Structure 1
Amino acid sequence: MAKSSGPPSRVPRRASAGARAARGAVDARVWLSGIRLSGFMVIMLGLVVLAAFVLVPTVGTYVSQRQQLAALEESVQLTRDEVADLEAQRDRWRDPAYITTQARERLYYVRPGEVVYLVDNDLPPELVPQEQRAVSEDVEATRTDWMGQLVRSITEAGLATTGVAPITVGVPDPAPTPSPSDTAE
Structure 2
Amino acid sequence: MAKTTAPPSAVSGGSRTPGRAPGAERRQVDVRAWLGGIRLSGFMVIMLGLVVLATFVLVPTFGTYLDQQQQIEALEQSVQASREEVAELEAESDRWKDPAYITTQARERLYYVRPGEVVYLVDNDLEAALVPQEPDPISDEVAETRTDWMAQLVRSVTSAGMADVIRAPTIGVPDPAPSTTPAP
Could you tell me the TM-score, scaled by structure 1's length?
0.53
Query: Corresponding residue for 1:59?
Result: 62
Residues 78-157 of structure 1: matches in 2 within 5 Å? Answer: 78-130=81-133
Say whether residues 1:42 and 2:41 are aligned partners: no
- Aligned Cα root-mean-square deviation (Å): 3.6
The CA deviation at 1:110 is 0.5
Could you say which structure has the higher helix fraction? Answer: 1
- Residue deviations 1:80-138 (CA, integer Å, cap 9, x gap): 1111111001000011100000000011110000001111212232221335678xx99
Query: Against the structure 1 CA distance between its residues 105 and 17, is the aligned structure 2 distance closer, same or farther, given a 3 Å change threshold?
Result: farther
CA distance in 2, matches of 1:32, 1:132: 101
CA distance in 2, matches of 1:99, 1:66: 46
Structure 2 regions of 5+ residues with no counterpart? 10-22, 138-144, 147-170, 173-184
Say whether residues 1:73 and 2:80 are aligned partners: no
CA distance in 1, matches of 2:25, 2:56: 42
User: Taking CA–CA contacts closer than 8 Å with sequence separation of 6 or more, which of the two structures ends up with the larger relative contact order?
Assistant: 1
4+ residue runs over 6 A deviation: 9-13
Q: Quick one: which amino acid aligns to residue 116 of structure 1?
A: V
The CA deviation at 1:45 is 2.0
SS in 1 for 2:116: coil
Could you say which structure has the larger radius of gyration? 2
Query: Against the structure 1 CA distance between its residues 112 and 48, is the aligned structure 2 distance closer, same or farther, given a 3 Å change threshold?
Result: same
Could you tell me the TM-score, scaled by structure 2's length?
0.54
Identity %: 64
